[in-house]
Amino acid sequence: MADTKELASDARKYWSAEGYTPGGVLREVDYASQSGGLDPSLAGIKIVDTDTHFTEAPDLFTSRAPAALKHKMPYVKLDADGVERWYVGDRNFGSMGGNVIRNDNNKLLGRLAFPKLEQAHPGGHLVKPRLQAMDDMGVHAQICFQNSGVTQAGSLMSLGDPEVALAVIQIYNDASVEYQETSGQRIFNMAHLPYWDEAAMNKEARRCIDMGLKGFVLPDTPERVGVPSFNHDYWTPFLEMCDATGTPLNFHLNAAIDPNTLTWEGFAFEQTLSVVATMFSIGNAATLGNWIVSGRLDRHPGLKIGLIESGMGWVPFALEALEHQFNEMLPNKANGRLHKRPWEYFRDHFWVTYWFEKVGPKLLLETIGTDKVMFETDFPHPTSLYPGVQEHIVATLGDYDYGVKKQVLETNASKLYNLPF
C-alpha cells in the first residue's frame, strides 16, 4: 500500500498553489464575435466536446450526505491567502480546480484559475449557464470530468474511513446522473469508482451503468496508490463488465510518467507548466503501449478506451515505434498472449482527441483513422480552446467532406460513449 502521507498530498498537488498567485495576463475576448453558435458549414452536426470539466459545487457533498456523515463530508473554505479550497475536517484537499474563463467571458493566461469560484464563469459549475456557453460555442454535448482533487482515490483512501470515501464517490456519481437529465442529455460526467475495494468497485460500476452514466475515468497506473495493476485479476470482473456493456474506460491526461520530473530546476511556474502540459499529452503513448502489450485487449475484445486530452499528432509515431518493438523485443508475442499488431489493437480499441492541433487533423487524420479521432475544447481549463472554437474547427477540418466532419465531431464520440443521438 502506498504511503498515506503521499496519498493525502494527491489532492493538494492536483492544482499547484502557484497557479492562484497574482499575475498572469487577462485576454480580452470580443464575445459577441465568438458566440454565434454552429458554423453554417457544419449545419446538422451535433458537435460533441469530448474533454471538458464541471466543477463540483461547494455544497455538493454536504447537501446530499446522510445526516450521520454530513460533518465528515468535503466542504469549501476560504484560506488566509484568499484562495477557496476543499477540506475534509481540517485536512486540505486542494483547490476547486481550473477555470480561467472569467465571469465576464475574458480569459486568464499564465495561471490555473481565479482564487474564488464567484470570479469564474458560472458555466464552470452550473448547468443552465453551461448550456448557454455550449450554445454560444456551437457545441451540442460535452463529456465532462471532475475539476478538483476531492474525488481522487489516493486522497480518499488516506482518510482511513471507507464509509466516507465511498459516500463521496456515490454522491458525485448520483449528481452526475442529475446533470445528465437536467441538461437534456447534453452534459455527461464520467463516473468515479472506489477502486481501492474490489467488491465495492464492481458494485458501484454496475450501479453507474444501470443509472445510465456513459463511462468511467480511471488512473493509468493504479499501483501508484497501492491498488493492483491492470495486469492483476483484481480488475478482471470490472473489465468483463465494461466489455459486455460497451462502457468505455477513460484515461484523462493520465500519462504513465510524471512530467514534473522532466523539467529543469529554477524555472518559473509558467515555464514549468508549459513543458509539463506538453509532456502529459505525449505521455499518453505509455498508456497506449501498456494496454497493447498487456494481453488484456485479447482477453476483452470489446473493450473501448478513450485517451482524453491526449492530442493526436503523436499517435502514428508511437504506433510505428510499437510495431518496430514488437519485431525486435516481442518475437514470441509475449508467449502467445498477443494475437494482433499494434495498429490493429489501436483500431479495435482506442479513440483519441484533438483541440489546439493543426498539423494532426489536417495531415494525419486519415492515417490515424477518421473513425478514431474526436474533438475537444478542454473548457474551462487553462490551455482550453477558447475563444475561437468554430473558427478552429473550420480551419482544421474544412478541407474534408461533410461526412468526415460529422464523424470526427459527432459520430465517433456517440459510438464511444453510447450517446442518445
Determine if the peptide bond prior to 387 is cis (ω within 30°): yes
Q: What are phi and psi of 78, to 5 degrees?
A: -85, 115
Q: What is the pLDDT of residues 274-289, one digit of tens each?
A: 998 888 888 899 999 9
pLDDT at 1: 45
Q: What is the pLDDT of residues 153-179, one digit of tens each?
A: 888 998 999 999 999 999 999 999 999
The mean per-residue pLDDT over the stretch 83-95 comes to 93
The mean per-residue pLDDT over the stretch 139-150 comes to 95
Q: What contacts 65, CB < 8 A, 6 or more positions away?
A: 72, 73, 167, 171
pLDDT at 348: 98
Kindly tell me if the per-residue pLDDT of 367 is higher than 60.
yes
pLDDT at 273: 87
Q: What is the pLDDT of residues 379-403, one digit of tens each?
A: 999 999 999 999 999 999 999 999 9
> What are the grid coordinates assigned to 257, written together?
510518467
4-417 fold: TIM Barrel (3.20.20)
Kindly tell me if the per-residue pLDDT of 2 is higher than 60.
no
For residues 311 and 64, what is the distance between their CA atoms, to the nearest angstrom? 36
Burial of 264 (0-12, 13-18, 19+ CB in 10 A): exposed
Neighbours of 222 (CB within 10 A): 19
Kindly tell me if the per-residue pLDDT of 82 is higher than 70.
yes
> What are the grid coordinates assigned to 14, written together?
492536483
Of residues 9 and 246, more confidently modeled: 246
Q: What are phi and psi of 295, to 5 degrees?
A: 85, -10
pLDDT at 255: 67
Q: CA-CA distances (angstroms) from residue 292 to 118, 163, 327, 334, 398?
A: 44, 36, 14, 11, 33
Which range, of 207-211, 271-275, 392-396, 408-412, averages the lowest pLDDT?
Answer: 271-275
pLDDT at 243: 98
Residue 218 pLDDT level (bands cut at 50, 70, 90):
very high
pTM above 0.85, yes or no: yes
pLDDT at 21: 79
For residues 356 and 376, what is the distance between their CA atoms, to the nearest angstrom? 9
Kindly tell me if the per-residue pLDDT of 257 is higher than 80.
no
Neighbours of 15 (CB within 10 A): 22
Of residues 163 and 253, more confidently modeled: 163
Share of the chain above pLDDT 90, in %: 83
Which range, of 7-16, 94-103, 311-320, averages the lowest pLDDT?
Answer: 7-16
- Residues 37, 51: contact at Cβ < 8 Å? no
Residue 373 pLDDT level (bands cut at 50, 70, 90):
very high
Which range, of 29-38, 74-83, 84-93, 274-283, averages the lowest pLDDT?
Answer: 274-283
Q: What is the pLDDT of residues 295-349, one digit of tens each?
A: 999 999 999 999 999 999 999 999 999 999 999 999 887 678 899 999 999 999 9
The rounded mean pLDDT for the chain is: 93
- Edge-to-edge order in the sheet of strand 350-354: 216-217, 249-252, 305-308, 350-354, 373-375
Closest residue by Cα to residue 131 from 52, 248, 215 = 52
Closest residue by Cα to residue 292 from 348, 252, 238, 251 = 348
Partnered with residue 350 across adjacent β-strands are 305
Closest residue by Cα to residue 267 from 275, 259, 258, 256 = 275
